[in-house]
Amino acid sequence: MLYTKLWIYPAIPLIFLQTYTQQIPFNWEAVTQGLEVHVSQTVSMRRLKFSRSRSRDRTSASVSTSYRIQAYAIVVAWVFLFLIFSLLLPEVFPTWQNVTSIANQKAATVLLTLGLVFALSAGEFDLSIGGAVSLGAAIPAWLATVHGFSLPVAILIALVFAAIFGLINGLLSVKAKIPSLIVTLGTGTALGGIVSGIAGNTTLSVQTFSFVALVKTRIFGFYAAFWFMLIIAFIAWYVLEHTPVGRQLYFVGAGREVARLAGIRTNAYRYYSLILCSTLAALAGSMVMSTAGAAQSSIGKSYVLPAFAAAFLGSTAIRPGRFNVWGTVVAVYFLETGITGLQLEGFEVWITDVFYGLALVIGVLVATVASNLRSRSSD
């Protein structure tokens, strides 16, 4: 009560003066009650605002904690999976030879999936990556073995055609306004047929070329191709996370019309993403050809599902809620660790398709659920 009346004293002279000049009876009790109600309401409002602020802080802390858990859950699962197979297969699985073998074998898959990350980040689905992989693998081998081209030159020629192919995908998707999912399904199938018609269906060996030996040069046990993949991954990460180009690309994928109204050249980013996706897919095919020492025209078909599974599973890790580079790298090797362990345990080859298919479904499901939870918490 003393707290309340302290507010009353400065106002008394003004109130008394008004009542004296206007001949109004002065009512001390009414004035006191009115000011007490005002002070009480003010205190209540301040308490309510403080309570809401604390509630928002608790919600923000909860969201931040769940975000961190989700960001590194797949990394923990990867380590756990490695430990399980190491206990089950102690003489085979945890060896340095097996570790380097997994790393070397999946370097091309990482490269392919990084290209897909750019397309998906821009809101485009590129199902033609299988045809682009076949282009990058079979055409250089055909040019080198049949027509005598040096292998590096043959690879450059394939990359140029892959970029043109990506541009065609962009024109059909952007200018003709056909959904990229439909466009790339058709163009990828057509490209696979063209590659088969040119290079044939036989296996083309490039083991004798010096470039193959260079690609398979071991540095600390890992192929030079693996280190090349890491360099590309680092560049892709820097572009996506630390440049205006990357931020605008994500903006285009999140809301194309909003990005256009903000002054971003959305069509240009769609072109760039599809061209880059096709080019990196062809480069991945050339890496497969170089590390294996041979190529077939149908080789690209088996890479489509693993790439999409890793891209969507990777979008739930490191930077949950967006397609990102290091989440993709972790996802590729997480999947390969599981498949290698199951195969060493004696499972047949069909387990690979089951594993990749389930990983794709789980990746999309987790990403969708996490996005819904973040939307609810922000509301």
* Weakest-pLDDT range from 4-18, 44-58, 64-78, 126-140: 4-18
Residue 11 has pLDDT above 90, yes or no: no
- Structure confidence at residue 59 as a pLDDT band (50, 70, 90): very low
Average pLDDT over the chain, rounded to whole? 85
Query: pTM of the prediction?
Result: 0.81
Tokens of 157: 């020629």
Query: Any alpha helices (H) in the chain, and if so which ranges?
Result: 2-8, 12-21, 28-88, 96-105, 107-121, 129-146, 151-170, 180-199, 210-215, 224-242, 244-254, 256-261, 266-292, 304-314, 325-344, 350-378
Query: Nearest 5°: phi and psi at 210?
Result: -65, -30
Mean pLDDT of 27-49: 53
Q: Is 32 exposed, middle or buried (0-12, 13-18, 19+ CB in 10 A)?
A: middle
41 vs 31: CA distance, rounded Å: 16
Mind listing the domains of the chain with CATH numbers?
72-378 (1.10.3470)
Mean pLDDT of 143-155: 95
Tokens of 267: 């069509």
252 vs 267: CA distance, rounded Å: 9
Q: pLDDT at position 371, please?
A: 66
* Weakest-pLDDT range from 115-124, 249-258, 370-379: 370-379
- Residue in the structure block whose two tokens are 């006191």: 32
* Weakest-pLDDT range from 17-26, 98-107, 199-208, 250-259: 17-26
Q: Which residue has the higher pLDDT, 52 or 104?
A: 104
